[in-house]
């Protein structure tokens, strides 16, 4: 694909469908490819490497931006802001962090989108402090019904979000009060104002992708660590922690003709070596 496409990819405002098709033409990177590109950009400021890192993750930005479509803001604008976050993440990414770029970039992408939503959602800003921002993106999901919160519910939400009770009450008034200039009339059941929506984090795409990346990363580390163990240690760990039904220390001691304490020592040493995979 031509490098001339670089400018249009940063500004998905003309034809969003065409933009989405274009970003999916960029292949995803294998772990070794991502690491090599990140090292080239970090050590040599290779802009071509940075370009490849960014373009291979543009589809990830589209997935995250889709989760914020209910705020009445253009999806193209959300994608554009997310791309800014992605570029910031690439600039700060170090392959020695031990995580994939997608997992690292999720924070930066969402941060830029959050800032854009807070700047543009209403004329009267509803979230200006860190605590208020936390409430803005969580309060709707914490409400159990369509009515106003009672004192007990307000106290519970404040405790869950680690904010003051009065902040919850104030945000509820500001978040769910009507702005006639911006909230649409509810005469049409098919038309809803921005206040009706809040991101459902149970199915938030970036979290699913991030979790999948982390699970894959963890599985690779465990597999590598198990391969480095001797056959007896590997068998003990599998039968004590993986296979069902789990073997007892005494069962393994009888099989290997050693004491139960010796099995416990072998198990502890093997687990220590496996844990070391996560800190190196």
pLDDT attached to residue 244: 81
Task: Using the 3D structure, point to which of 122, 145, 162 is the last residue of a domain.
Answer: 122
pLDDT value of position 64: 92
Q: Does residue 40 carry a pLDDT above 80?
A: yes
Arithmetic mean of pLDDT, 168-176: 67
Q: What is the spatial distance between Cα 101 and Cα 108, in angstroms, rounded to a whole number?
A: 11
Assess whether pLDDT exceeds 90 at residue 153: no
Query: Same structural domain for residues 114 and 150?
Result: no
Select the more confidently predicted residue: 148 or 15: 15
CATH of the domain at 54: 1.20.120.1810
Whether the link from the prior residue into 53 is cis, omega within 30° of 0, is no
User: What's the CATH code of the domain at 231?
Assistant: 1.10.10.10
Let me know whether 110 and 9 are in one domain: yes
Give the pLDDT confidence score for residue 157 in this predicted structure: 79
Residues 136 and 105 in one domain: no
| 29 & 81 share domain | yes
Query: Distance (Å, rounded) from C-alpha 111 to C-alpha 116?
Result: 9
> How many angstroms separate the CA atoms of 13 and 31, rounded?
31
Q: Per residue in 81-108, pLDDT tens?
A: 999 999 999 999 988 888 899 999 999 9
Task: Give yes or no for a contact between 90 and 41, defined as CB atoms under 8 angstroms apart.
Answer: yes
- 């997992």: which residue's tokens? 103
How far apart are the C-alpha atoms of 251 and 239, rounded to whole Å?
A: 10
Give pLDDT, residue 101.
93
Q: How many domains does the chain have?
A: 3
**94 and 79 belong to one structural domain:** yes
Range of the domain at 154: 130-201
* Predicted TM-score (pTM) of this structure: 0.47
Cα torsion 272, 276, 278, 280 to 10°: value is 170
The pLDDT assigned to 76 comes to: 87
Cβ–Cβ under 8 Å, residues 170 and 158: no
Question: Is 108 in the same domain as 163?
Answer: no
pLDDT range class, residue 15, cuts 50, 70, 90:
confident
């Amino acid at each position: 694909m031509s490098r001339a496409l670089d400018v249009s990819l940063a500004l998905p405002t003309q034809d969003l469908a065409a933009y989405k098709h274009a970003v999916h033409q960029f292949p995803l990177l294998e772990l070794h490819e991502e690491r090599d590109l990140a090292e080239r950009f970090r050590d040599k400021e290779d802009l071509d490497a940075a370009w490849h890192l960014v373009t291979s993750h543009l589809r990830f930005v589209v997935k995250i931006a889709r989760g914020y479509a209910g705020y009445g803001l253009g999806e193209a604008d959300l994608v554009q802001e997310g791309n800014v976050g992605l570029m910031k993440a690439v600039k700060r990414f170090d392959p020695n962090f031990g995580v994939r770029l997608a997992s690292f970039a999720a924070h930066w992408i969402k941060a830029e989108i959050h800032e854009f939503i807070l700047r543009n959602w209403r004329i009267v800003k509803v979230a200006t402090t860190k605590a208020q921002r936390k409430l803005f993106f969580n309060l709707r999901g914490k409400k159990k019904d369509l009515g106003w919160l009672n004192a007990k519910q307000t106290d519970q939400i404040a405790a869950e979000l680690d904010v003051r009770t009065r902040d919850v009450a104030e945000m509820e008034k500001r978040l769910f009060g009507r702005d006639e200039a911006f909230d649409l009339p509810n005469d049409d059941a098919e038309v809803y104002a921005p206040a009706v929506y809040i991101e459902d984090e149970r199915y938030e795409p970036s979290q699913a992708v991030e979790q999948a990346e982390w699970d894959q990363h963890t599985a690779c580390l465990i597999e590598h660590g198990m391969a480095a163990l001797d056959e007896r240690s590997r068998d003990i760990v599998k039968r004590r922690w993986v296979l069902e039904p789990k073997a007892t220390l005494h069962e393994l001691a009888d099989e290997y003709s050693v004491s139960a304490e010796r099995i416990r020592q072998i198990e502890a040493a093997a687990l220590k070596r496996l844990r070391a995979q996560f800190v190196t």
